[in-house]
Structure 1
Amino acid sequence: MIEVSNLAKRFRLPTRGGKSTAARDPRDHDGWFHAVRDVSFSCAPGEVLGLLGPNGAGKTTTLRLLSTALKPDAGGIRANGIDLLANPLVARQHIGFLSGSTGLYGRLTARENVEYFGRLHGMRPDHLKRRCDELFDLLQMHEFRNKRADQLSTGMKQKCAIARTVVHEPQIVILDEPTTGLDVMSAKILLDFIASYKALRVPLIFSTHHLHEVEKLCDRVCIINHGKTAFHGTMDELRHLGGSTDLYDAFVGVVSQGA
């Protein structure tokens, strides 16, 4: 179980001539941009939570806070009873985080990239080999396992990045827009892979703009708008609050309520 309560994170605005630039967003004030103002949600073992919101709503900042890549200004994050903010090094051992901007080592092969991150996590050679074989089966990566990362297609790179993210068998998985830019077949493989985590009883959180992925995979969703939690609940509850059985219309309805 991961529990997020009242997260907040702000960033200093750039200045011109000693003064902050003019505010262009309701979250800009007092010389700060309040990217995340009040975000709360939870994700239980075996549950897939979809993190939704308009562009610039604060989703990526929220996920970076969960991964301990950023430290929040306020709020709390607990996972399986562990305070992740008080124990960030312990947290990183138990979290698998896929960032939208994290790259691969171009001169290493797909297999070498995954093995390298496994060794960083202290995995034994025999365990690492079994785990890599398992992931390369699940993600259908064997045909390009010996190909250098800088020669891989977008879909191949994303599969490799996800394998690297979960090679150490994390207790919590966090994915930032994992299917962006993928073709239908690659996206289908990754979505099936995400769905497999329900059977493993691992909480999985992923952000996306594709609501059909949410409808297919998610047990619950959290909508962030202007840095705040606008909704957290089941799909049926979202449809009820948004006033439509169509998920797209319901999403727009919820976001419009908080505009």
Structure 2
Amino acid sequence: MSLPPWRRVDNPHYRTTQHEDAYQQSSIPLPPGLDRDYQWSGNANYPPPGLIRATMPKAISEIEYLRERRGRSVILDNSDISLFGDLAEYLESGYDMHGNHIMCDLTCVICCGNKLEMPTCVSPPRTPEEDAKTEPLCVLPCGHFFGAYCIEKWISTCRDEDRCSDCPVCRFPLLYEYCGHEVKLRHHDPRFRRPGQLPLTIPEGGCVPAYCRWCRVDYVKDLAHQMAQVVYPKDVPESAFFSPRSFGPSDFSELRGIIRSNMLSAFYHAEDAFDHW
């Protein structure tokens, strides 16, 4: 059955005076700021008078704005933080440079479900159900971070498909350039400070060497062996020494060992002098 003409929306006389009176007497709630004495037609093309700003906003300086915000709690999520470097400054103190308490409610961008473990000072309160769906934080050299379980599954899938392991977001290759070995995944334990467990990411000024640590150790050992053989040759006969009793082949053998030991010590000392992946 078709509607009468006065009830059709396309009728130019859809809302007449008598229907406005009926609307006024109905139980439909009025918009905020209006009472029953106000003659409002309910026209949807214009905002209700109760929501119209009476005065224009007053401009304030940035200093006044920061002063008003000082001491407030700010919750940051994945839309605010995309790189670990943006998060690192809050992990130890829990406050930003303006004195605001920062809480990080971050989710793994691979599964988009599990929450990432954060230090207590920046972790927002969670229900027991949310607490059960958390996983450790894993950081890649490019600065992107994920849940440890999810990124390990991603790396395992890359191996199974016989392709280069990379970052799921920016495709940064997780391989050392010259030796081709995989870059070790680094987890962030919220119970401990960052130094010693997680190096600087590339956006923070960190570096990824051309060779992995074990390849560099093997190279230094081989280089030290070659240098020892050049400086103190092994094939020198005892008769070639001027005074074999005071300085002979046994002394050469001992000095070759000292050269190898000193070069390895220099390598490990250099390793401890800078942070890298």
Smaller-chain TM-score bracket: under 0.3
Structure exhibiting the larger radius of gyration computed from Cα positions: 2
TM-score, length of structure 2 as denominator length: 0.22
TM-score, length of structure 1 as denominator length: 0.23
Q: Which has the higher contact order (CA 8 A, sep 6+)?
A: 1
Q: Counting strand residues as a fraction of each chain, which structure ranks higher? A: 1
